[in-house]
Amino acid sequence: MGPWQSAMEDVGMTQRLAPAVCAPDPEFWQGRRVLVTGHTGFKGSWLTLWLHRLGASVTGLALPPATVPNLYALARTDDLCESRFIDIRDAQATARLVHDTRPEVVFHLAAQALVRAGYADPISTYATNVMGTTHVLDALRNADGVRVAIMVTTDKVYRNLERPYPYREDDTLGGYDPYSASKAASELVISSYRDAYLSGRGVAVASARAGNVIGGGDWSPDRLIPDAVRCWQEGGQLAVRRPHATRPWQHVLEPVSAYLRLAECLYAEPTLAGAYNFGPPTHEAATVAEVIAQAQQAYGKGSIKWGDGTEGPHEAEWLALETAKARTCLAVRPRWNLHTAVARTMNWYREQRCGANALDLCEADIRAFESVGVPA
């Protein structure tokens, strides 16, 4: 029996925190002070939009957006939060912002989030992902009022054995490439600060390990769907390096809603603090080729050149997550299957290209997501 199972039995979570349909609670978030690091990024922008929709008072801490275009600017996210451009590698500036804003809930998403960029600049990757996470946690160590911290890492924190085995939260951490290793190292920092400092101060700390995310508004380089959209919009041929690589793909609203739900649950039951996987059912992990074929069909055009898997630095061929803990303790279950996730993603890009307002498109996706019941 794992430690999360013991905690669940101790507090009777099955009855109290597992309703048949689970969605973020506007009553919980209304007026609540929230800090989002990395709010200018793809996932951070979606989270900030949803928090604003729920009535939260959001402060964002991040570097300026890394790409042009970007969702932060297109959706006018700066109008929905108090935005501060601060580098989390600056410990003093990070601590000052936490002190000044006195957040009740913190979502830490700021990171160097790209595998190939990690190979190109490992020192910056480790500085941002390990020491940046340390700076955020250390700021919380001396903060008044904070109750919950959701520290977002990645599904790539596990020592990947390259076999069809879904990784569980208590499996061995590791990382072949600098990005994965930096995130695994940040998990150790998170665990240490939770045990040594924050739990004793009444701060519930969880790490969130989400599978590969797709959705409208991502223009990051070296990501499958953004690369496809850029290429196909210009009439080019998409080069797919590793068509047989298998990943736990999900729409961005899946992990974002899970982070919100996790924060609500930890606020009510701090004993649920710990690590959580978020992703699709294990049997729905899909290859790059499957995702691109669906994206091509949904987009209505696009040429593809298939690689043989040997180009570029090492990347894992197979990765899937076991999400039983999130289902059992938090009642978090996927709402959109891969087909729906890809279709809504490509529709977002197509409509935005034709002149639709980015914020309106995000709001439409959130409304559609909220309207779907969670399967039993």
Q: Give the active site residues.
A: 179
Q: Tell how far CA 269 is from the center of its chain.
A: 22
Are 252 and 215 in contact by the 8 Å Cβ rule? The answer is yes
Amino acid at 66: A
Sheet strands (E) in the chain: 33-37, 57-62, 82-85, 105-108, 148-152, 204-210, 213-214, 237-240, 246-247, 250-251, 274-278, 286-287, 303-306
**What does DSSP say about strands 286-287 and 246-247: parallel, antiparallel, or unpaired?**
antiparallel
| Sign of the torsion angle spanned by Cα atoms 266, 272, 277, 283 | negative
> φ, ψ for residue 166 (rounded to 5)?
-80, 125
Q: Tell how far CA 209 is from the center of its chain.
A: 7
* Integer Cα distance of 218 and 227 in angstroms: 10
* Integer Cα distance of 270 and 206 in angstroms: 10
Can you list the alpha helix ranges (DSSP code H) found in 12-90?
Answer: 13-16, 26-29, 42-53, 71-74
Are 262 and 200 in contact by the 8 Å Cβ rule? The answer is no
**Dihedral of the alpha carbons of 79, 264, 285, 305, in degrees to the nearest 10:** 10
Structure-token pair, residue 349: 């890009």
**46-to-178, 298, 333, 341 alpha-carbon distances in Å:** 26, 22, 19, 15
Q: What is the gyration radius of the CA atoms in the chain, in angstroms?
A: 19
Are 34 and 59 in contact by the 8 Å Cβ rule? The answer is yes
